[in-house]
Structure 1
């Protein structure tokens, strides 16, 4: 079976990752350890101004069942149980959060050569039902993403998307916010050897008649060091450098300046991820 169109969340993902992934203005530290029994423990802490947030995530894999348990500084506990491929192309995900009694949810994903389907339902008396589906191939795909609140009887989300891709470019067009927002993105690989790529995202809001344009690029200085930069039409420019100083361990330094208000101080973010 060849590579299919994937899930709806993958429409425009390459451009989003280039333009937004790893950019931050906070200080974050993440460390991952592995126990002899195969348990993966990931601890992270993030400093946002004067606020410090931390969480611990424990992951256990047993054959095709993966269990993730996460606890944060506010004593919130999140659990996700993933059953991978009980049948070819099928994945079942059960998740809930404590103390939120309405957070329980069951999701089923199915990947086919010409389709990708994801459906979830909340485990409550009046659940929210989500459905997303994509048909096509890895070159051309058309999909929709909707959510229905059975309590109010209203659609809380109704999106649609189209994606086209070939060996070096990906273009996508999505309609979001119940038809109020139109988003177009473009991702192009300039040089595969140096991982050089450019991306652009244009969003138009029909209710406010406003456009948001973001341009970005990335380039690998060497196999372990990547540079990224972006700018939008509001004058905010950002850049980052990410270095893999040991296998799976990254140091990322990012900054943002408002070119229309140079007198304001730049925002600087630092992230350190350690894996053995």
Structure 2
């Protein structure tokens, strides 16, 4: 179903272009497989600094129900249950991360052609409540979200945004952090496939009188290979190369360099995701 999407979708295109797949600090290997019965298994190893962690996850999908569970070497367990279309155009998501028994959340989403609503409630004695909604049509969406702490009786957040999406570009403006931060972004697609793209993001923090300007680009070298780069006004340069080694199996090489402190050692990351 097409529609304005959730409030979290406002500005998401620019955010993904500037942050997604930049494995600057880690070396990661993940292997996943799936069966026709709806069962998928994933295992991953991550090396960060001198430490290695491992996790194993499983996913089971049956009709409109999805169950996702993961356990890692630090004895953390996460589980998510997603049920779609309990009522028309709705989705319910329940999640928890153990051993933190207070981490349980219940989210209900309603998506329609011209509006969306989402509510999130933490499952503990003093729940946090978050509500968000968007309205829109013909590529224009207006949205807002608010968070409320029932234990203290104060608003934890209130944000608002506008998003404009056309085949050639996407533009968004978000007022967040209780009005302290204004973020504006523009994504410009250079071809019909939207694989060659430029992006500009401007972040203004009023309380500290600071501006952050980030420019980025994505370019497809061939159908299996893309390169991405980003640079902000503080001199942080990031880049990555992503190549589909075999169908659905992706190799990502990324790095980050502080151009204003060239004496510092650049950071590199490597990720390999295998899907037989």
Q: So what's the TM-score if we normalise by structure 2?
A: 0.96
Residue in structure 2 matched with residue 6 of structure 1 by the alignment: 5
Are 2:209 and 1:209 equivalent residues in the alignment? Answer: yes
Structural RMSD (CA): 1.3
For residues 4 and 36 of structure 1, do their structure 2 counterparts lie closer, same or farther at Cα, with a shift above 3 Å needed?
closer
Residue in structure 2 matched with residue 188 of structure 1 by the alignment: 188
- Give the C-alpha shift of residue 12 in structure 1: 0.6
For residues 149 and 261 of structure 1, do their structure 2 counterparts lie closer, same or farther at Cα, with a shift above 3 Å needed?
same
3-state SS in 1 of match to 2:101? coil
- Give the C-alpha shift of residue 167 in structure 1: 1.2
Residue in structure 1 matched with residue 251 of structure 2 by the alignment: 251
For residues 222 and 167 of structure 1, do their structure 2 counterparts lie closer, same or farther at Cα, with a shift above 3 Å needed?
same
Cα offsets for 1:172-224 (capped at 9, x unmatched): 00011101111001101012347210001110001000001110000101111
3-state SS in 1 of match to 2:178? helix
Residue in structure 2 matched with residue 112 of structure 1 by the alignment: 112
Moved over 6 A (4+): none
For residues 143 and 36 of structure 1, do their structure 2 counterparts lie closer, same or farther at Cα, with a shift above 3 Å needed?
closer
Q: Say whether the 8 Å CA contact 1:194–1:220 is kept in structure 2.
A: no
Residue in structure 1 matched with residue 102 of structure 2 by the alignment: 102
Residue in structure 1 matched with residue 52 of structure 2 by the alignment: 52
Residue in structure 2 matched with residue 267 of structure 1 by the alignment: 267
For residues 194 and 59 of structure 1, do their structure 2 counterparts lie closer, same or farther at Cα, with a shift above 3 Å needed?
closer
Q: Say whether the 8 Å CA contact 2:38–2:62 is kept in structure 1.
A: no
Q: Distance in 2 between matches of 1:171 and 1:36?
A: 40
For residues 175 and 65 of structure 1, do their structure 2 counterparts lie closer, same or farther at Cα, with a shift above 3 Å needed?
same
Residue in structure 1 matched with residue 28 of structure 2 by the alignment: 28
Are 2:148 and 1:148 equivalent residues in the alignment? Answer: yes
Give the total of aligned pairs. 275
Q: Distance in 2 between matches of 1:143 and 1:94?
A: 24
- Give the C-alpha shift of residue 248 in structure 1: 1.1
Q: Distance in 2 between matches of 1:69 and 1:155?
A: 32
Cα offsets for 1:86-140 (capped at 9, x unmatched): 2221101111122112112111001000111110112222211111111112511
Q: Distance in 2 between matches of 1:138 and 1:244?
A: 34
Q: Distance in 2 between matches of 1:23 and 1:117?
A: 31
Q: Distance in 1 between matches of 2:149 and 2:258?
A: 40
3-state SS in 2 of match to 1:260? coil
Cα offsets for 1:1-36 (capped at 9, x unmatched): x62100011101111111111112210111002357
Q: Distance in 1 between matches of 2:161 and 2:117?
A: 14
Moved more, 116-125 or 227-236: 116-125
- Give the C-alpha shift of residue 37 in structure 1: 4.6
Q: How does 1:131-142 map to 2 (within 5 A)?
A: 131-142=131-142
Q: How does 1:56-135 map to 2 (within 5 A)?
A: 56-135=56-135
Q: Say whether the 8 Å CA contact 1:144–1:158 is kept in structure 2.
A: yes
Residue in structure 1 matched with residue 224 of structure 2 by the alignment: 224
Q: So what's the TM-score if we normalise by structure 1?
A: 0.96
